């Protein structure tokens, strides 16, 4: 009987470098190339102060993007002007008085794109704010090409409505106008306004739908995990329900479904598994894999629970906040990182490596110990491998990390 070969698994090893510490608030982090140098920089901020900064790579000199923006929440980036450097897109003004998911601002949910001056590192020239549009409760957005490739588009996801935390929400799409610097709002269409509630996490994915160059979305919501994409043949949006998420804590917490999500490649399959933290601000790590023997040949996904980190607190919230899939060890298969916001000992980044994704078998390692609200990846060190960076979770009324910071973790896996 022939012996089956087993792929060697590299043990993850990451360094730790503080980019900035003693943050007064912390929530969001992105890794755009602000200067056009070919290496990613960092953009980080919290909700309270309304100040967005970028940190130049190398050296991490702190520079202001914009201040006095009311409660910035989710962000993405893209070259909206076409000049070769990244512009930023941010949604803001989520809450009214009270400052929680129970207090959606009926006049808020606004989106701006922030124009990169093009020489951001050499001068004090200010980033220019351009208004895109709004939908109450806007919380997450992604920049890409979702129904067309000739214009940049922004897809937006509110988290709560004025009517209540678990009210139904609109998913909306904004398309870049011909004159991108005009003062007019971007044309908006509603993708759906009757199917999803409490949308907390989204991931833009390319090349998942055969025969199209359009981007699609993996979404975590009250309904669980969904895969949204535009069907060019039918000329309409469609979505596949992947799984219900966590329902075991509902009677105790009032939360169910999924909280954040990303999809991982294994071999030639660009979506071999979907990793999730569940439910909203949840404590449960799960992966979804396609059912190899669907009943009646109808397809479907199987959910595997990998870990549970701590118990829900008095507000019904757990320790987890973010998920990211990337190939850190360079073997062609994606690993994934789970970000735990805290409190200690349930904080840090946990690294998962698939041994047999189809059967839900993963190895795991703790690769950082700081509070994590958001994880980004990039070749920050210029070594040709993927590093990752984190920002701590420090948000009033939710969880305030004792020491909020932005931390870079250089990938040392391939150096050993």
Residues serving a catalytic function are 139
Query: For residue 360, what are the CA distances in angstroms to 111, 262, 285, 338?
Result: 38, 15, 12, 16
- The answer to whether the peptide bond before residue 123 is cis (omega within 30 degrees of 0) is no
Query: For residue 205, what are the CA distances in angstroms to 34, 39, 213, 378?
Result: 22, 21, 11, 16
| β strands within 162-259, DSSP E | 168-175, 188-197, 201-205, 216-221, 224-231, 236-243
- Which is nearest to 404 in space by CA: 396, 414, 394? 394
Token pair belonging to 168: 């139904």
CA distance 409 to 339: 13
CA atoms within a 13 Å half-sphere pointing along the CA-CB vector of 400? 9
Query: For residue 304, what are the CA distances in angstroms to 2, 287, 308, 309?
Result: 31, 5, 12, 15
The DSSP string of 45-56 is E-SSS--EEEEE
| β strands within 117-210, DSSP E | 128-134, 138-144, 153-158, 168-175, 188-197, 201-205
Find out whether 109 and 136 touch, Cβ atoms under 8 Å: yes
Torsion over CA: 217, 78, 39, 92 (sign): negative
Buried b (16+ CB within 10 A) or exposed e, 68-77: ebebbbbbbb
For the chain, counts of helices (H) and of strands (E):
1, 30
CA distance 383 to 380: 8
Token pair belonging to 230: 């535009």
Buried b (16+ CB within 10 A) or exposed e, 287-316: bbbbeeeeeeeeeebbbbebebbeebeeeb
CA distance 242 to 344: 32
DSSP annotation of 11 reads P
């Amino acid at each position: 009987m022939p012996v089956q070969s087993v792929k060697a698994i590299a043990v993850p090893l990451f360094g730790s470098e503080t980019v900035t510490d003693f943050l007064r608030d912390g929530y969001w982090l992105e890794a755009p190339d602000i200067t056009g140098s070919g290496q990613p920089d960092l953009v980080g901020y919290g909700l309270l102060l309304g100040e967005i900064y970028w940190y130049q790579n190398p050296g991490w000199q702190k520079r202001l993007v914009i201040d006095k923006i009311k409660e910035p929440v989710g962000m993405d980036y893209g070259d909206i002007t076409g000049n070769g450097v990244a512009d930023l897109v941010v949604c803001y003004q989520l809450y009214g008085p009270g400052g929680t998911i129970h207090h959606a601002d009926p006049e808020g949910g606004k989106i701006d794109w922030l124009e990169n001056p093009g020489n951001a590192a050499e001068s004090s020239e200010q980033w220019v704010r351009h208004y895109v549009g709004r939908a109450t409760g806007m919380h997450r957005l992604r920049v890409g090409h979702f129904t067309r490739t000739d214009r940049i588009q922004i897809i937006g996801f509110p988290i709560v409505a004025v009517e209540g935390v678990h009210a139904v929400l609109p998913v909306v799409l904004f398309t870049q106008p011909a004159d991108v610097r005009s003062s007019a709002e971007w044309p908006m269409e509603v993708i759906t306004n009757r199917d999803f509630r409490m949308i907390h996490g989204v991931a833009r994915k390319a090349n998942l739908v055969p025969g199209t160059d359009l981007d699609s979305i993996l979404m975590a919501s009250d309904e669980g995990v969904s895969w949204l994409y535009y069907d060019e043949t039918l000329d309409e949006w469609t979505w596949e329900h992947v799984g219900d998420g966590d329902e075991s804590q509902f009677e105790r917490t009032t939360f169910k479904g999924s909280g954040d999500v990303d999809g991982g490649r294994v071999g030639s399959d660009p979506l071999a598994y979907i990793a999730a933290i569940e439910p909203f601000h949840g404590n449960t790590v799960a992966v979804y894999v396609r059912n190899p023997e669907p009943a009646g040949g109808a397809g479907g996904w199987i959910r595997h629970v990998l870990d549970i980190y701590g118990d829900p607190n008095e507000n019904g919230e757990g320790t987890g906040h973010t998920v990211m899939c990337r190939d850190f060890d360079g073997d062609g298969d994606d690993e994934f990182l789970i970000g735990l916001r805290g409190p200690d000992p349930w904080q840090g980044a946990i690294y998962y490596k698939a041994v047999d994704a189809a059967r839900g078998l993963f190895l795991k390692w703790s690769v950082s110990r700081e509070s994590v609200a958001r994880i980004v990846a990039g070749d920050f060190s210029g070594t040709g491998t993927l590093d990752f960076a984190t920002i701590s979770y420090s948000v009033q009324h939710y969880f305030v990390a004792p020491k909020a910071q932005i931390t870079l973790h250089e990938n040392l896996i391939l150096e050993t």
